Amino acid sequence: MLASNKNSPILSRQPRSIAFVYRVTIEETMTHRTLTGLAGALLLSTAGYAFAQGTTVIPAGQSAPDMQVAQADSGAAAQNQGGAAAAAATSEGEQPAAAEAEAEAEASTEGDGEAAGSEEQASESGEAAGGGGEGEMQAGLEVDSTPSADTKAGGNAVAETKPADADQTPGLALDPAGSPVYALADDSADWYTWRGYKKYGANCLQCHGPDGMGSSFAPNLAESVQNLSYYDFAGIIVSGQQNQWSSSGNSIMPAWGEDPNVMCSLDAIYVYLRGRTDGVVGRGEPKRPEKTELTDAAQQHEYDCLGF
C-alpha cells in the first residue's frame, strides 16, 4: 500500500519539503553567521580606524615623538633633581668644610700661641740654665747651657766687690748669694780669675788635667762644679773624699785643709773653675788684669797668708 502510494503528490512533496526546510535552515544559518562575521569585521575595522587616527606609525629602531618628549622631560626632571641634590650636598659639604677650616684656623692660632708660650718658656728655661734663673747676669757674657751650680741658682752678676782694705780677700767679687764670682771686662780677667788659673796649674793640674778637664784618674772639675756650690767645693777641698768619682775602690781626693799653698788660693781656684764651667773662660791662661790698687791688695793678701 505504501508502494502503491509512492507516486501520490502528497507523499512525493513531503520529502521535498523536509529537504527544503533543512536546506533553507542551513542557508539561513550560514547567512546569519556570514552577517555576524561581517558585522564583527566591520566593528573591528571601525574601532581600528578610530584607534589608528590617534596612533603614529613608528619605524623600527626609533622612538615615538611623545615618548621622546616624555623621556626628555624625565631626563630634565632627573637632572634638576640631581642638580638640587648636588647643590644640597655641596652646601652640606661646604658647612663642614667651613667649620673644619675655622677649627684649623683656631688650632693654628692656638698652636702659634702655644709655640710662642713654649719659646718664652724655653727662653726663661735658658735663662735659668745659663743665667741663674732668678739672678741677674753679667752684661756681655754668654753663659754655657750647663753652668755652675751657683750660676744656675742665682746668676753670675757681681753684687759686691770687696774693698782694698778688707781683712779677707780684698778685691774679690761676690754674687748676690755671697759666693766668689769672676768679674770679666774688656777681654781681661779679674785678678782672682787669672790667679786661680795659675794656682790650679801649680796644685791641681797633676791629677785633674789642664784647664780642669779631667784625666784618667781624676774627674773633670769643669763638669763637677755644675753640681757643686762654692761651699760644697770648699768642703771637698778642705776634707777630701773617697770613692765618690770612681766605684773601683781606689778613688781618693786628698784633704788640703792644712796646706797653705791650696787654702790661701781656694777662692781664686774656685772662681777660675766657675768661669770654666760657665763657659766664659776659655782654655789657657786668661789675660792678666792691669795693675791697680785692688790687684795689689789681693796679691799682698796672698803673700801674707803664705807667710812671705
CA 86 to chain centroid: 36
Check pLDDT > 60 for residue 50.
Answer: no
**Helix/strand/coil percent split, the chain, to 5:** 60, 5, 35
Mean pLDDT within 82-102: 49
**Segment 270-285, tens digit of pLDDT:** 999 999 999 999 999 9
**Segment 284-299, tens digit of pLDDT:** 999 999 999 999 999 9
pLDDT at 214: 86
Domains and CATH numbers, the chain: 185-306 (1.10.760)
Coil, helix or strand at residue 180: strand
CA distance linking residue 230 with residue 177, whole number of Å: 10
Contact 187, 287 (CB under 8 A): yes
Task: Write the burial class of residue 303 (CB in 10 Å: 0-12 exposed, 13-18 middle, 19+ buried).
Answer: exposed
Check pLDDT > 50 for residue 307.
Answer: yes
pLDDT at 139: 79
Res. 137 pLDDT band, cuts 50 70 90: confident
Residue 148 CB partners (closer than 8 Å, separation 6+): 225, 226, 228, 273, 274, 277, 278
Residues in the chain: 308
> DSSP letters of 126-140?
HHHHHH-TTS---TT
pLDDT at 89: 41
CA distance linking residue 73 with residue 77, whole number of Å: 6
**Segment 112-121, tens digit of pLDDT:** 544 444 444 4
Contact 135, 175 (CB under 8 A): yes
The C-alpha cell of 297 is what?
A: 791688695
Res. 252 pLDDT band, cuts 50 70 90: confident
- Identity (one letter) of the amino acid at 151? T
Angle between helices 266-278 and 230-239 (to 10 degrees): 130
Contact 190, 184 (CB under 8 A): yes
Q: Is 179 or 248 the better-scoring residue by pLDDT?
A: 179
Q: What are phi and psi of 273, to 5 degrees?
A: -70, -30
CA distance linking residue 148 with residue 181, whole number of Å: 11
CA distance linking residue 195 with residue 296, whole number of Å: 12
Residue with cell 748676690: 176
Check pLDDT > 80 for residue 208.
Answer: yes
What predicted TM-score, i.e. pTM, was given to this entire model?
A: 0.58
**Closest of 279, 306, 282, 273 to residue 192, by C-alpha:** 273
- Identity (one letter) of the amino acid at 182? Y
